[in-house]
């Protein structure tokens, strides 16, 4: 019995030592597994980053994904499509994916003869552009054109036979509205407006295609133009050609003849 009591502590010590060794080995295995997992995760992340970089480079490489076709549509006569395509390719030299549609839109709409435009991409290599061309209705101060809304744009050297309108800056819409009203009234005759001038004080003067100049003043210019239409058959019967007619009178007109003699005639 005494001997058995002495052997029991020795067995317990061996068991504790074996348990400690097993625990240490398990901890080492867990660490190895953890670091292996971390290394694998880092490898996967690195692969994804490299793949993303390569994919991005591929998609933005003009040689791999070029914009091969710029397809223009719409009705236009004066827009230089060749020049416009050259400008687009110079401003957007990248690939199909790198091309910025908003930048192309702004570039296209900044061209003088483009009134409106729409731009979109079409997979895999096409840029589609729909154009609405400016409509020129009159020349403005010799160096610009007016569209039907009174907006000015550059003619880019295009020669067109149009009525000539003159006036101070900012009066484009007023001048065009006045011209349209006068033109509609003159359409009832065989006469047409060749030139219209609006002074700094907004007084109207009209040059007709037959050479007669009309001074309409600032107010009631439509009524005064109608007065000229009414009196013109009488003036046309005269032997002398009419040079100008001043209509700034309440009840009559002043007529200038080609020999520079002026006479007053009641309307």
Mean pLDDT across the stretch 20-32? Answer: 71
233 and 154 share a domain? yes
For residue 263, pLDDT over 70 is answered with no
53 and 84 share a domain? no
Residue 151, domain extent: 138-266
Number of folded domains in the chain? 3
Let me know if residue 212 belongs to a domain: yes
H or E segment at 51? helix 2-59
171 and 226 share a domain? yes
**Domain at 84, CATH number:** 3.10.20.310
On average, the pLDDT of the chain sits at 86
220 and 244 share a domain? yes
**pLDDT tier at 5, thresholds 50, 70, 90:** very low
* CA 125 – CA 221 distance, rounded (Å): 58
126 and 220 share a domain? no
**pTM for this predicted structure:** 0.72
H or E segment at 116? strand 114-122
78 and 177 share a domain? no
Q: Which of 52, 86, 49, 54 is nearest to 70 (CA)?
A: 86
């Amino acid at each position: 019995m005494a001997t058995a009591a002495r052997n029991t502590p020795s067995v317990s010590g061996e068991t504790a030592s074996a348990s400690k060794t097993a625990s240490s080995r398990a901890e080492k295995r867990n660490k190895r597994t953890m670091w292996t997992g971390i290394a694998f995760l880092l490898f996967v992340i690195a692969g994804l980053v490299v793949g993303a970089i390569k994919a991005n480079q591929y998609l933005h490489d003009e040689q791999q994904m070029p914009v091969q076709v710029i397809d223009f549509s719409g009705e236009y006569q004066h827009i230089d499509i060749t020049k416009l395509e050259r400008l687009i390719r110079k401003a957007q030299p990248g690939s199909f994916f790198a091309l910025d549609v908003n930048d192309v839109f702004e570039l296209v709409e900044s061209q003088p003869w483009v009134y409106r435009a729409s731009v979109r991409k079409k997979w895999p290599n096409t840029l589609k552009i729909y154009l609405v061309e400016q409509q020129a209705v009159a020349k403005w101060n010799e160096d610009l054109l007016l569209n039907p809304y009174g907006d000015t744009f550059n003619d880019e050297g295009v020669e067109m036979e149009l009525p000539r309108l003159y006036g101070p800056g900012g009066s484009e819409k007023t001048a065009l509205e006045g011209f349209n009203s006068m033109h509609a009234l003159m359409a009832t005759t065989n006469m047409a407006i060749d030139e219209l001038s609006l002074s700094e004080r907004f007084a109207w003067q009209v040059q007709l295609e037959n050479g007669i100049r009309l001074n309409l003043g600032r107010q009631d210019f439509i009524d005064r133009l109608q007065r000229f239409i009414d009196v013109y058959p009488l003036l046309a019967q005269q032997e002398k050609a009419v040079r100008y007619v001043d209509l700034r009178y309440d009840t009559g007109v002043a007529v200038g003849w080609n020999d520079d003699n002026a006479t007053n005639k009641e309307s």
